Amino acid sequence: MVEAITRPTQIEISKKALKHNVAVVKQTSGADKIFLAVKSNAYGLGLVPTSKAAVAGGVYGLAVAVIDEALALRHERITEPILVLGISQAKYAELMAVQHIMATVVSLSWLKEAAQSLTGEQRLQVSLGVDTGMGRIGFRTRESLAQAITYLQAHKDIFDYVGLATHFAESDSVQTDYFYMQLKRWHDITDGLPEPKYYHVANSGAAMYHADEVPHEVIRVGTVLYGVEPSRGELADGKNLQPVMSLRSEMNFVKQLPAGEGISYSHKYTTSSDEWIGTVPIGYGDGWLRKMSGFSVIVDGQYAPIVGQVAMDQLMIKLPHEYPVGTKVTLIGKDGDLENTLEDVAQHANLAPWEIMTGMQDRVHRILVD
């Protein structure tokens, strides 16, 4: 999709906030090395600019979902460690090895298939995934994991055993039974087996609330570094974090309408008196969902509600009085004494904050700000 750089709608990525959150997470978790999840276009913030800002802010490595995301980062001359979290096809093992991309491996059969294509010019960095209860991908038994480690050690000419990981399904809740069940399984499956360079067990929730109970020298986090409190207020208020993302635009049309005029599709809003209506160039085609109808954006330090249905490329807001075209509109972020947080948006849409973030489409211009 084309990035709309000629339109005033843009996502701002705060370098200062990202660096601040790195420091907070390191202090809270005791982590020495942080892998930041930048999958899905860095949770919607923009893969390349966010990754560069994260590295500058003290992140040790980056985690992506697919090889293509890793290659895009290597193309931008980002040299830090990169881990692919998902299963990659074994036929790309040599490509990953040459590009120094770490593969998540979850079966011995994958290693055997990959071995057929590896030349040994560069060893493939392998992180073994263990399924302790997420039910997604990973070794399920100690025996199968041990067999894979033995195979890696027997083929050190083509493989480099660097990582061992699991993923917690519930580490950010007051309900901890399932977390401790997974932690016990982790120890039952892995304790006493040969140790790699990276134990990356802690996700955002485990890093922030269970750091003393899990391996935490290396952590693999996402939401918390973007300034989103993982438990959504259940275990912490998140006031020590700073929001990395802001979403802003400008009004490109302002008009006064008399009473009885319908606004947008299906006329789900009708003016009740003379009203000043501003048009803002963003819509559900950008990821600002129709569910956001009725949500209040911020104009000149005042709330202005979205009226009528959000259209694909535009939405309308009710103004307290006339404003000139070009007046700033803050959809997410601070303006004056007011702030719309990602959590505010998420609650209005009945979604999680990370769903709002990842839903932002490519045509929204992304910029780095201090």
In contact, 368 and 49? CB cutoff 8 Å: yes
State residue 94 phi and psi, 5-degree precision: -65, -40
Using alpha carbons, list the distances in angstroms from residue 52 to 55, 312, 361. Answer: 5, 31, 20
Buried b (16+ CB within 10 A) or exposed e, 265-286: eeeebebeeebbbbebbbbbeb
User: In this structure, what token pair is assigned to residue 57?
Assistant: 């802010």
Q: Locate 117 and state its tokens.
A: 């294509």
Is 323 an active-site residue? Answer: no
- 265 is known as an active-site residue: yes
Catalytic residue among 39, 199, 284, 323: 39
Residue pair 224/204 in contact (Cβ under 8 Å)? The answer is yes
Helix (H) or strand (E) holding 105, with range, is: strand 101-105
Inter-residue contact 311 to 268 (CB < 8 Å): no
CA torsion 308→314→319→323, rounded to 10°? Answer: -160
For the chain, the C-alpha Rg in angstroms (whole number) is 24
312 annotated as ligand-binding: yes
The verdict on whether residue 136 carries a ligand-binding annotation is yes
Smallest CA-to-CA distance from 168 within 210, 196, 139, 127 is with: 210
Residue 194: count of CB within 10 angstroms of its CB:
12
Q: Which of 91, 180, 265, 268 is catalytic?
A: 265
Pairwise CA distance, residues 325 & 255, whole Å: 10
**C-alpha–C-alpha distance, residues 265 and 314, integer Å:** 11
Q: Which two tokens stand for residue 361?
A: 């489409």
Q: Any idea which residues carry the catalytic annotation?
A: 39, 265
Binding site: which residues? Answer: 136, 312
Binding-site annotation: residue ranges for substrate: 136, 312
